[in-house]
Structure 1
Amino acid sequence: MAYKGLVAAAFTLATLANAKPLNRRVACADGRSASNEVCCQLFPLVDIIQEKLFDGGECGEEVHESLRLTFHDAIGFSPTAGGGGADGSIIAFADTETAFHANGGIDEIVDAQTQFIADNNVTISPGDFIQLAGAVGVANCPGAPRIPYFFGRPAPKAASPDGMIPEPFDSVDKILARFSDAGFSSAEVIALLASHSVAAADTVDPTIPGTPFDSTPGLFDSQFFVEVQLKGTAFPGTPDNEGESKSPAAGEMRIQSDEALARDSRTACEWQSFVDNHDKLMSAFSDAMVKMSVLGHDIKDLVDCSEVIPETTPLPADAGPHLLPATTMDDIEQACADTPFPTLTALPGPATSIPPVPPS
C-alpha cells in the first residue's frame, strides 16, 4: 500500500526531552489528568484507537493481530545479533520485515496500523504506537490484566535481522534458546503464550482463516492451557501443513510448538500452574508483556503513562476452566511430574465445532 514504505524519519516523537514523572498529577486539556504532561496527548489517541481500530472497543480480530504485532516487533532483539527490539521497525521498514517467513500474514495489521497512523496524524513513534495499541486492545478482552504502558521510544534506525522470531514448528530447545538470548526465562515464555488465549490463526492453513487456539477466543482465560493439554486428533483439512499439529475439537487449531511446550519437563509445570490460577495468569502475563514492550530500551528513559490504558473487565461469572463437551479427565495428557492436573468438569452436551473468529 502507499504508506507501507514509510521510513522511520516520517514519525516524530511528541514528547519532552528527558521528561521525568512529576510528583503531582497534571490536568490535561480534555479534563483528564496524568502523572506526566507528556501522557496527556495519549488520551485522545486511545479514544480514536478504540473507535476506529478496535470497532468501538471490541476484543476481535484487530486486537488479536495488534497483540501479535507487539511480539513480532519486540522480539527482533539480541545482545549479539542486533535488532532494536520494541522500536517499531516492523512498520518503519515494513518492506523488509513483512517478507520474513516468520512474519507471514503480519502485513495486514502492519498495513492497517500504518494507514491508521497516516489517517489520524499520529505523531508518536511507531514503537510507542505498536505497544500502545497492543495494551489498549488486550484491555478490551474480559479477564485480561491492565498492562502498564511506557512511552518515549525513539524512532527505529534499521530493520530487525531475519531469523529472530520463533515459529510454530520450532523445537522447544530452539524456542527457549531464542527467548533466553533476548533475556526471557522459560517461565516468562509460557506466560507470554497466554496471548494465544485471545488469538486465531490466519496463515497456518489459509483455507480456514480465523481458526482460534481455544474455544473462548473472546476471553482472556486459561482455556488455552487446558485445551492444549487434551489429547487431539489430526486437524481436518491439510494435515501436512508446516507447523500444524493436533486439535482437541473441530474448528480449533493447535500448533506444534504449543503442544511441545505444554509437555516438556522444563515448562510443563509452569504451563499447568495457569489452569486454575487466573490471578497468577494475569500477573505473569502483564509482567512478561511489560518486559517485552521495552526490549532494546532502558525503562528509566521512558515515561510511565499507564493511566491511559482503559480499565479492564473481569471474566463472566460463568467462566472458568473446564473440559470441552464429550471429554473427561482421561483425555488430559498429564505432563507435570510434580503435581496432578487440576480436576475439571466438562461442559454439557455433545462435541461441538468451535466457530472461527470473524474478520473485522
Structure 2
Amino acid sequence: MAIKSFLASLISVVALFQASQAGLIKRAACPGTKRTTANAACCSWFSVLDDLQANILLSECGEGSHTALRLSFHDAIGFSKSSNVGGGADGSLIAFGDTELAFAANNGLEEIVDDLQGVADAHGKSYGDIIQFAAAVGVANCAGAPRLQFLAGRPNATAPAKDGTVPDPFQPVSTILARMADGGFSPAELVALLASHTIAAADEVDTTIPGTPFDSTADQFDTQIFIETQLRGTNGFPGTGPHQGEVESPLAGEMRLQSDHNLARDPATACTWQSFANNHALMSSSFAAAMKKLAVVGQNTRRLTDCSDVIPVPKGTSVTPHFPAGKTNADIEQACSSATFPQLPTLPGPAKSILPVPPGS
C-alpha cells in the first residue's frame, strides 16, 4: 500500500508541474489583430495568409490551391545528392523563373509563379518561404487534409535547379524512383506525396480538356485517387491515351496519369498504394510526413522558425472510401501480392461524368 501511495503522490506532483509549466507558455498577441501565435516572429505571416486567401487561393480547394501544391514539389525536388546540384526548397523556380519555367516538366506553372512572386515581394518574404507557405495554406483549404508544418526563414536561391530533376508522368517507374531516391525520397514517400493527386487536375497534359481531375472528388483530400487508379479500363485498356503521359481512365471526365497507373501496379509501390485505399488516417499522416521532409530539402532547419500555427486548420471530409457508380471489387486490377484489395461500397445510381475543375477557382 505504501508503494501505491508513493506512486499516486508522484503522479500528482508531475501533473501539477506539467500544469504549471503549461501556464507559463503564453501565446504572443499580434499587433492590430485578434490573432495569436506561439512565436511573435510569425505574426507577419497572417497578413500574407490574408493576401493569399483573398487574391490567389480564394479560400477554396480549387485551381489556385492545387497549383500552389504542385509548385511546392517542383521547386523542392530540384535537388540532387549524387551531383550536389540544386538548392531544393529554395524558391529558385521563382527567382530563376526565366530558366526553370522553360523546363517541360514545369509547364503550366507560369501564372502561380507570377502571383506568388508578387505576394512575396509585397510582404518582404523569400521565394522559398512563399512557395511552401502557399502550398500549406492551399492544402488546408481542402476538406480532409492534414495541417502541414510550415517553417519560415529560407534564404533566397542563388542558382537555378537543373533540368530533368522533376519526374515526368511518361517516364518508367524505375526512372522515377531513381530520380526520387537521388532527391532523398523512398518509394513509399513518393506514393505518400502523390496523395496530392486527390486534389489535382491537369491543364497541360491535354490542353483540349483543361481542369481534368485525377479522381472523382477533386475538392476533397480523400483516398479516391488510390481506388480509382486501380480500376480496369475499357477498349483495350491500358492502351495509351491521346497524349504523352496519359492512359485511358474508365471513368468519364477523369484523367489518369501514366505514372500513377504504373506506380499503382509496380511491385515496388503497389502495396503502399493499396494501403491508402481505405485508410484515410494513414494516407493523411504519411502525406504530412513526406511534405514535412519535402518542404525543407536543402535547408538547415536549425535556422528556420516554426510558424505552423499560422496555417489554418482544415475541415474534415464527409467522403468515405467507395467505388464510383457502376464499379465494384470485380473491376479492380489487383497488383499488391501480399494483400487483397479492400471490400468497398459502390455509390448508388447511374454513372456520371466527372466535372472539370473550373479555371481560376
| TM-score, normalised via structure 1 length | 0.89
Cα distance in structure 1, aligned partners of 2:66 and 2:147: 16
What secondary structure, in the 3-state scheme, does the structure 2 residue paired with 1:167 have? coil
Partner AA of 1:78 in structure 2: S
Question: Per-residue displacement from partner, 1:320-357 (whole Å, max 9, x unpaired)?
Answer: 11111111211101111111110012111222111100
Question: Per-residue displacement from partner, 1:232-261 (whole Å, max 9, x unpaired)?
Answer: 2369xx933111112021110001110000
Partner AA of 1:356 in structure 2: P
Cα distance, 1:23 vs structure 2: 6.4
Cα distance in structure 1, aligned partners of 2:159 and 2:251: 43
- Give the fraction of aligned pairs with identical amino acids, expressed as a percent: 55
2:223 corresponds to: 222
* Contact 2:90-2:127 at 8 Å conserved across structures: yes
Cα distance in structure 2, aligned partners of 1:239 and 1:342: 28
Cα distance, 1:122 vs structure 2: 1.9
Cα distance in structure 2, aligned partners of 1:348 and 1:226: 17
Q: Which residue of 287, 290, 311 maps to 1:288? A: 290
Cα distance, 1:294 vs structure 2: 0.3
Cα distance in structure 2, aligned partners of 1:349 and 1:321: 17
Cα distance, 1:53 vs structure 2: 1.1
Cα distance in structure 1, aligned partners of 2:82 and 2:67: 29
Structure 1, unaligned runs of 5 or more: 1-21
- Between Structure 1 and Structure 2, the one with more helix by share is 2
- Residue correspondence of structure 1 range 187-226 to structure 2 within 5 A: 187-226=188-227
1:240 corresponds to: 242
Q: Which residue of 29, 53, 72 maps to 1:27? A: 29
2:155 corresponds to: 154
* Contact 2:89-2:296 at 8 Å conserved across structures: yes
Cα distance, 1:112 vs structure 2: 2.3
Work out whether 1:342 is the aligned partner of 2:345.
no
2:16 corresponds to: none
Cα distance in structure 2, aligned partners of 1:231 and 1:42: 46
Cα distance in structure 2, aligned partners of 1:46 and 1:109: 15
| TM-score, normalised via structure 2 length | 0.89
Moved over 4 A (4+): none
Q: Which residue of 87, 102, 116 maps to 1:84? A: 87
Partner AA of 1:53 in structure 2: I
* Contact 1:86-1:293 at 8 Å conserved across structures: yes
Work out whether 1:140 is the aligned partner of 2:141.
yes
- Residue correspondence of structure 1 range 263-278 to structure 2 within 5 A: 263-278=265-280
* Contact 2:48-2:119 at 8 Å conserved across structures: no
What secondary structure, in the 3-state scheme, does the structure 1 residue paired with 2:190 have? helix
1:330 corresponds to: 330
Cα distance in structure 1, aligned partners of 2:320 and 2:334: 20
Cα distance in structure 1, aligned partners of 2:68 and 2:107: 14
Partner AA of 2:322 in structure 1: H
Question: Per-residue displacement from partner, 1:239-290 (whole Å, max 9, x unpaired)?
Answer: 3311111202111000111000000111111101111111111100000001
* Contact 1:219-1:315 at 8 Å conserved across structures: yes
Question: Per-residue displacement from partner, 1:51-76 (whole Å, max 9, x unpaired)?
Answer: 11122x11100000000000000000
* Contact 1:74-1:293 at 8 Å conserved across structures: yes
Cα distance, 1:106 vs structure 2: 1.4
Question: Per-residue displacement from partner, 1:176-221 (whole Å, max 9, x unpaired)?
Answer: 1111111111110000000000000001000000000000000000
Partner AA of 2:303 in structure 1: D
Partner AA of 1:40 in structure 2: C
1:231 corresponds to: 232
Cα distance, 1:34 vs structure 2: 1.9
2:106 corresponds to: 103
Cα distance, 1:35 vs structure 2: 2.1
1:11 corresponds to: none
Deviates more, 1:288-297 or 1:321-330: 321-330
Structure index of larger Rg: 2
C-alpha RMSD of the superposition = 1.5
* Contact 2:120-2:126 at 8 Å conserved across structures: no
Cα distance in structure 2, aligned partners of 1:85 and 1:239: 33
Structure 2, unaligned runs of 5 or more: 1-23
The count of aligned residue pairs is: 332
Partner AA of 1:45 in structure 2: V
Q: 1:281 to 1:349 in 2, by over 3 A?
A: same
* Contact 2:51-2:119 at 8 Å conserved across structures: no
Partner AA of 2:232 in structure 1: K
* Contact 1:194-1:281 at 8 Å conserved across structures: yes
What secondary structure, in the 3-state scheme, does the structure 1 residue paired with 2:259 have? helix
Q: Which residue of 21, 36, 39 maps to 1:36? A: 39
Cα distance, 1:24 vs structure 2: 4.8
Cα distance in structure 2, aligned partners of 1:306 and 1:331: 41
Cα distance in structure 1, aligned partners of 2:307 and 2:116: 21
Work out whether 1:257 is the aligned partner of 2:259.
yes
Work out whether 1:53 is the aligned partner of 2:44.
no
